[in-house]
Amino acid sequence: MMELVRKAYLSFILLFLYAPILILIAYSFNSGTYSTEWEGFTLDWYKSLAKSSDLLEITFNSFLLAFLAATGATIVGTAAAIALKRYQFLGKKAMQGLLFALLMSPDVVMGIALLVLFVALRMDLGFFTLLLSHITFGIPFVIVTVMGRITSLDENLTQAASDLGASEFQTLHKVILPLLWPAVLSGWLLAFTLSMDDVIISFFVSGPDFEILPLRIYSMVRLGVKPEINALCTILFILTMAIVFTSRKLVGDEE
């Protein structure tokens, strides 16, 4: 009896989480343009998507931005996490506190703050301001992910390395980083996905020269959901799933 309840509960949760996406995927193959009724299978929306070079370019922009931002955030965040866990320095406690404040702070606040900063620095809004912003909001997530892993490492491992003659740098290179790698990858993925779907912060700090997908979709939807958007979102969803599964596999093999 309990078993049955548990299964039902689990199915319900999964259905609740994935029903909207499943409906979206179904509609992307629906030949009816405006209706919410099923009018037959079609690939037309995908075809017209492929012809819209504009949308393809914007999609590429988004991937490029997410890739660079995730990489930047991962480098800075991993270094910061190692510093926070391994070294004593002035203001360490304050930095830890600020980190969590940053994680919790609303996107609107973050967006406006960054905008004010860029304006004060007289920077033109565009690719660079977007990249800097996306790196900024990715960093705390990377730090938290990597710090979790460092905490679970046996501190004797780094002691053993220096005991056997490794300098600080050699310990980092040969022991700490290889062991942190799964967490670094997870951090990168998190930063990548966060960048891919950010609307609010990007809204404040982007310019007309460099358009990105989430903002474009957002503005398109205001004129009504077009079937092409369903198709685009389906592709994005499948890509995301693919990335998540391959990374899980990579990490799984490593452990």
Q: Which residues bind another protein (CB under 8 A)?
A: 154, 156-157, 159-167, 170, 174-175, 178-179, 254
Q: Give start and end residues of each alpha helix (H) in 87-167.
A: 92-104, 107-120, 127-152, 155-163
* Sign of the CA dihedral running 190, 191, 196, 198: positive
Q: How far is the CB of 172 from another protein (least distance, A)?
A: 13
Q: How far is the CB of 161 from another protein (least distance, A)?
A: 8
Q: For residue 46, what are its two tokens? A: 């995908």
CA-to-CA distance for 234 and 140, rounded, in angstroms?
A: 29
**Least CB distance from residue 192 to another protein, whole Å?**
24
Look up residue 92 and give its two tokens.
């360490």
Q: Is the CB of 92 or the CB of 174 nearer to another protein? A: 174
Q: What's the closest the beta carbon of residue 76 comes to another protein, in angstroms?
A: 24
CA–CA separation, 253 and 242 (whole Å): 17
Q: Which residue type occupies 130? A: L
DSSP state of 123: P
CA dist 74 and 184 (Å) reads 7
Pick 110 or 161: Cβ nearer another protein:
161
Kindly report the backbone phi and psi dihedral angles of residue 6, in degrees, each rounded to the nearest multiple of 5, phi listed first.
-65, -45
Nearer to another protein, 6 or 174 (CB): 174
Query: Nearer Cβ to another protein, position 125 or 166?
Result: 166
Q: Compare residues 32 and 148 and give the one whose CB is closer to another protein.
A: 148
**Residue 197 CB contacts under 8 Å (≥ 6 apart), including other chains:** 214
Nearer to another protein, 112 or 179 (CB): 179
Smallest separation, CB 78 to another protein (Å): 17
User: In the structure encoding, which two tokens stand for residue 137, read together?
Assistant: 């909001």
CA distance 131 to 67: 10
Q: How far is the CB of 181 from another protein (least distance, A)?
A: 8
